[in-house]
Amino acid sequence: MHTLTDSTLLKNQSFLDGRFVGTASIDVTNPASGAVIGQVPAFGADEATQAVEAAAAALPGWSARTAKERSTILRNWFNLVMANRQDLATILTSEQGKPLAEALGEIDYAAAYIEFYAEEAKRIAGEMLPSHRTDARLLVLRQPIGVVAAITPWNFPAAMITRKIAPALAAGCTVVVKPALETPLTALALAELAHRAGLPAGTINVLTGDAQAIGGVFTSHPKVRLVGFTGSTAVGKILMAQAATTVKKVALELGGNAPFIVFDDADLDAAVEGAIVSKYRNMGQTCVCTNRFYVQASVHDAFVEKLLARVAELKVGDGFAEGVAQGPLITEDAVRKVEAHIVDATAKGATIRLGGQRHALGRTFFEPTVLTGARADMTLAGEETFGPLAAVFRFETEREAIEAANDTETGLAAYFYARDVGRIFRVMEGLEYGMVGINTGLISTELAPFGGVKESGNSREGSQHGILEFTELKYACLGGL
């Protein structure tokens, strides 16, 4: 582990009911070097039950606070995250691998959710509706849903947590989080800062350990009222089915298969810049990363040449090294998936134009890759590669591009580049996606509702919509007036 200004942010215990507890036993490794950088407890169903009960015990006190009191504590947490951003980013790059500049960007992005929901806590309002009787009044209250259990992935070890728990806490809920086993240290450092910020014992709990056992408690314990999950569609379906037995609300942010369409009226240089950020950010390991580039025939070759020139400039290496744009992939399995997609695509006629191999640095480093001649029958067309592989498809007409883009079970993010205003509206409205980037490859912000349609999920995170997920409506009819 690189040196931290505040080494007490590096935890080797889980955070349960206001205390760090448990025996460190599972190794956390740095994917760039394989070095063990920490250990965390292997908790299971018993500790998950204790954590849920601690959150349930803290719920009445926390939800009874005024919105302004909750807001002030969240604001303290935001300030502490920003004051410790360098250490948090160091922990994040050490366990996840992304370049340090990206890790700093993620910490700022993660903190922005805490800041935004500290403000939004004060704006959850009810309603008084026109009554159906003169002697009655109809009130609608928005109350916290209750205990929220969250399961988060390794690709954004900070932001996927704050995006769920900041709005939950702001709404008056208490939370239990199970971070990904690959990246628990950032989550535990955030818990330490939340504790310092004044969040009462039990309001936030962070548990490390057996995903299935902990997930089993989260989805079955009667005190949990909402299960929030970001991760694969396959696991999301399991959790949704499990949660059905106690009719919990589930808020799912699942996989994508983002198309990126370049029309013949696009600014090609801008499209290439958007392509780089949407494809190669986090080594292609985000659910909004472009998975399929569709380029109109008349600009296909020009776009590909420009893209190749830019991808060739991406420096691969340890995320702490100067100028590095691409770190290691998270695991050996992740590398194997990229390789399998390349083997399948080339067997079916695609051409590798750049990269295509494991990087000379070894381990899980992979060469940024571009291939052309991609077709709908290739595995990469139907499955997210989740790695640094840009696959370029060629198309002729606008209708063909929209149909190809929508030909997937998922619907998270889509991107396109065009200048014609009629086309912009037709394509924006025709894409079956929860989010559309038009002439930009970067759309995530705490100010907008992030989320997908179809098998990509059923909720929104960010903006005022994101906090309403954690509230429940109560209708009260006040009669006898």
Q: Given the rule CB under 6 A, which residues bind ligand ADP?
A: 151-153, 178, 180-181, 211-212, 215, 231-232, 235, 238
Minimal distance in Å, beta carbon 152 to ligand ADP? 6
Closest CA to 34 of 355, 397, 362, 278: 362
Catalytic one of 120, 253, 446, 469: 253
Cβ(78)–Cβ(180) under 8 Å?
no
115/455 with CB nearer ligand ADP:
455
What percent of the residues of the chain are helix, what percent strand, and what percent coil, each to the nearest 5? 40, 20, 35
| Number of Cα atoms under 13 Å in the Cβ half of residue 433 | 30
Q: Is 289 assigned a catalytic role?
A: no
372/444 with CB nearer ligand ADP:
444
Q: What is the DSSP code string of 161-198?
A: HHHHHHHHHHHT-EEEEE--TTSHHHHHHHHHHHHHHT
Catalytic one of 102, 106, 173, 287: 287
Strands 224-230 and 389-395, bridge-based pairing: unpaired
What's the token pair of residue 387?
């790695």
Minimal distance in Å, beta carbon 235 to ligand ADP? 3
Displacement of CA 121 from its chain's centroid (Å): 22
Q: Is 287 assigned a catalytic role?
A: yes
Minimal distance in Å, beta carbon 348 to ligand ADP? 25
70/279 with CB nearer ligand ADP:
279
Minimal distance in Å, beta carbon 273 to ligand ADP? 27
Minimal distance in Å, beta carbon 452 to ligand ADP? 15
What's the token pair of residue 218?
């989260």
Give the number of other Cβ atoms within 10 Å of residue 13's Cβ: 18
| DSSP class of 315 | P
Helix (H, G, I), strand (E, B) or coil at 24: coil
Q: Report the alpha-carbon distance of residue 353 to residue 2 in Å, rounded.
A: 37
What's the token pair of residue 253?
């942010």
Minimal distance in Å, beta carbon 221 to ligand ADP? 13
116/450 with CB nearer ligand ADP:
450
Q: Report the alpha-carbon distance of residue 204 to residue 375 in Å, rounded.
A: 47
How distant, in Å, are the alpha carbons of 12, 190, 268 from that of 8?
Answer: 10, 12, 48
Backbone angles phi, psi at 138, to 5 degrees: -110, 115
List all residues 6 or more positions away from 123 whose beta carbon is below 8 Å from its beta carbon.
464
Q: Report the alpha-carbon distance of residue 199 to residue 76 in Å, rounded.
A: 9
Minimal distance in Å, beta carbon 456 to ligand ADP? 13
Backbone angles phi, psi at 346, to 5 degrees: -70, -35
Residue whose CB is nearest to ligand ADP in the complex, by number? 215
Minimal distance in Å, beta carbon 458 to ligand ADP? 16
Minimal distance in Å, beta carbon 291 to ligand ADP? 14
List all residues 6 or more positions away from 39 whose beta carbon is below 8 Å from its beta carbon.
12, 24, 25, 26, 27, 28
| DSSP class of 133 | S
List all residues 6 or more positions away from 138 whose beta carbon is below 8 Å from its beta carbon.
128, 129, 130, 131, 132, 475, 476, 477, 478
CA angle, 132 as apex, 127 and 134 as ends, to 5°? Answer: 100
Give me the active site residues, please.
253, 287
